[in-house]
Amino acid sequence: MLITRHSSLVTALLRSCGVNPRHYWLLMDLFGKLSERHEFMTQLGRSGFALKAMAWWYFALSGFVVLVSLFVQPSPAQYLSIFLALTALVLLTLLVSETNNSLVNPVEGLVLAHQPIEGATYTAAKLSHLGRILLYVVPALNGAPALAGLLLRAPWFYPFLHMLAAFALGLVMALFCCAGFGWLIRFVPAPRLKAVGNWTELIVWMAFLAFPQAPRFLKRVHFSAWLPGPGVPRVALGAAVTLLVVGSVVFGLRSLSVDYMLRVSSIVHGASSAKVQSRKWRRSSAISGWLGGQLGRAGFEFVSKMMTHDWQFLRQVVPLAPALVIAGVAMALGLRVPPSSSRFTSMHVLPHAFGFMLFLICNVLAYGNDYKGAWLFQLVPAGAWERFAQGVFAGLWSRFIVIPHLLLLALLTWFWGVGPAALFVAYSLAVASFYLALELRLVEGVPFSKQPQVSQGAMLLPYMLMGGLGAALLVGLQYFILFRSPASALAATAIVAVGAYYLTRSSLRSLSSAMRYNLGLVSGESSFLYKEAG
């Protein structure tokens, strides 16, 4: 008999988990309707386009790993371990991010908090989309490898065993993610939950990047020395550890229902980062004039404040932090060798690393958690957007280009001397400014004024691959031609700086036009909500 939402088996399963079946299916219908109306687009499991695009990318990745594995010819056990480890890494980053966004940012919960809905029912409906992620990602990563395993002299039932192990791993990881955030919700104060959630996601990304060093670490750690002697039954120890893990998961899941709906308001209005103390000094009129007057200063202050407080922006740029750590380590390794030498160092790549960082930032800058407040910008006069756009550019340029390059100048002067350090920093500053001027065209609207959509990142990887190829060509040009003599490096710096200046002016006009156009769309959409009476 087909199992449906009204079947007794599903109803009994939901009731055994403390979930009200009727309220659960009402919430599922509500979330589905909001997704169809494009009002609930921040969850990956509810975006079919994003899931399909991601599944195809993971299918291509698994196919490449299969080809390499068939060439190496590992044993069936090693082959299975490779793809289970790959599945675990991918699901860990996806599930932690999605669980964090679902439970730590329950925006729609403000409307539902006054309804008689249990916390377990609400969290179960919120987290049901994780199952759809598993149904897409696990087959994409393991479907072809499971069939290809038969070419490694595996038994005929190997594909079924491979898929069963992959789905079991995915289910266990989903339960662990939900239980982990359940413990956070139980013990972390509600106003601080957003900041802790961001740090949790950051730690996961750091672990993801540190995974290649895991075999080296495991070789140094002798786990057999930690085990008790022959007098203690190791089966009992294993059973105790298993019970402890299962108990942690069970009580973590039960924590999701403890006063969750009562804490929704505090969670939503909690800070995404540490509170910034009010400054006792004001910027001088000279700085306001440099920003284009009070309108430019408004754009500067708006972007600077929102980048440290908007939830959706912070969770999108969290993966940048581990990459910045790696870039810092690579830069430290290449500090003693100037680019003018015959050796290739990480300093050749550093100017383009700023472009990569600004690409990710500009790609998500127009999207924010409080996008429904965009109507406020409709009160701004049409002629003010040029100066506002200048302030937005100044906020990005000063924070992500000028300040890092000033610190870099002081550091490189210590190792290279004034002349080589000043020339390299000037070149890097010009290249990074050119990248920013080019990538400013990705900001399609007023910053933080559009609804975030997970489908926007579906084509992000191809753009990054094409940009990485172009940056690699420029790095080769630097290494073989530009940095061979100070004269060629100085000429390249002047040319890039002039190009960045004129491209910035054009991009600022494009940004102001995009902001006006986006606000016009918002104004037009609001007119469909009303009908003229007559």
Structure-model confidence comparison of residues 214 and 9, the more confident one:
9
What is the arithmetic mean of pLDDT over 443-464? 74
pLDDT tens by residue, 293-329? 788 888 888 888 888 888 888 888 877 777 777 677 7
Residue 524: its pLDDT value, please?
62
Residue 39: its pLDDT value, please?
66
Tell me which residue has tokens 């400054």.
279
Ramachandran angles phi, psi of 367, nearest 5°: -110, 140
> CA torsion sign, 389 to 390 to 396 to 397?
positive
> CA torsion sign, 211 to 213 to 219 to 225?
negative
- Angstrom CA distances, 510 to 432, 439, 446, 451, 503, stand at 19, 11, 12, 21, 10
- Please state, in angstroms and rounded to a whole number, the distance separating the CA atoms of residues 465 and 46: 27
**Residue type at 301 in one-letter notation:** E
Read off the pLDDT band of 230 (50, 70, 90): low
| Mean pLDDT score across all residues of the chain | 78
Residue 431: its pLDDT value, please?
92
- Angstrom CA distances, 380 to 387, 515, 519, stand at 12, 11, 10
- Angstrom CA distances, 35 to 32, 285, 334, 388, 453, stand at 5, 47, 49, 33, 11
- Please state, in angstroms and rounded to a whole number, the distance separating the CA atoms of residues 120 and 508: 49
Residue 44, SS3 per DSSP: helix
**Between the CA atoms of 286, 288, 289 and 292, what dihedral angle is there, to the nearest 10 degrees?**
160
Q: Within 13 A of 449's CA, how many CA atoms are on the CB side?
A: 23
| Six-digit token string for 9 | 């088996």
Structure-model confidence comparison of residues 59 and 477, the more confident one:
59
pLDDT tens by residue, 338-375? 777 777 777 888 888 888 888 888 888 888 887 777 77
Residue 285: its pLDDT value, please?
46
Highest mean pLDDT among 68-82, 96-110, 396-410: 396-410
Residue 278: its pLDDT value, please?
45
Residue 497: its pLDDT value, please?
93
- Count the residues in the chain: 534
Residue 49: its pLDDT value, please?
77
SS (H, E, C) 504-517: HHHHHHHHHHHHHH
Residue 426: its pLDDT value, please?
92
- Please state, in angstroms and rounded to a whole number, the distance separating the CA atoms of residues 418 and 447: 39
pLDDT > 60? residue 79: yes
Residue 505: its pLDDT value, please?
92
Residue 305: its pLDDT value, please?
86
**Residue type at 467 in one-letter notation:** G
Task: Report whether 403 contacts 394 (CB < 8 A).
Answer: no
Task: Report whether 264 contacts 185 (CB < 8 A).
Answer: no
- Please state, in angstroms and rounded to a whole number, the distance separating the CA atoms of residues 467 and 456: 17
- Please state, in angstroms and rounded to a whole number, the distance separating the CA atoms of residues 305 and 333: 34
Read off the pLDDT band of 222 (50, 70, 90): low
Structure-model confidence comparison of residues 217 and 17, the more confident one:
17
Residue 345, SS3 per DSSP: coil
Structure-model confidence comparison of residues 222 and 129, the more confident one:
129
pLDDT tens by residue, 465-504? 677 777 778 877 787 788 778 888 889 899 999 999 999 9
Residue ranges per domain, the chain? Answer: 13-214+239-268, 286-527
> CA torsion sign, 488 to 490 to 493 to 498?
negative
pLDDT tens by residue, 151-199? 888 788 888 999 999 999 988 888 888 888 888 888 888 777 777 777 7
Tell me which residue has tokens 């499991």.
45
- Angstrom CA distances, 147 to 58, 142, 143, 152, stand at 16, 9, 7, 10
pLDDT tens by residue, 365-421? 888 887 777 778 877 777 788 888 888 998 899 889 999 999 988 888 888 888 888
Residue 357: its pLDDT value, please?
87
Residue 495: its pLDDT value, please?
93
Q: Quote the percentage of the chain above a pLDDT of 70.
A: 77
* Ramachandran area for residue 448 (φ above 0: left; ψ -120 to 50: alpha; else beta): left
pLDDT > 50? residue 530: no
Residue 437: its pLDDT value, please?
92
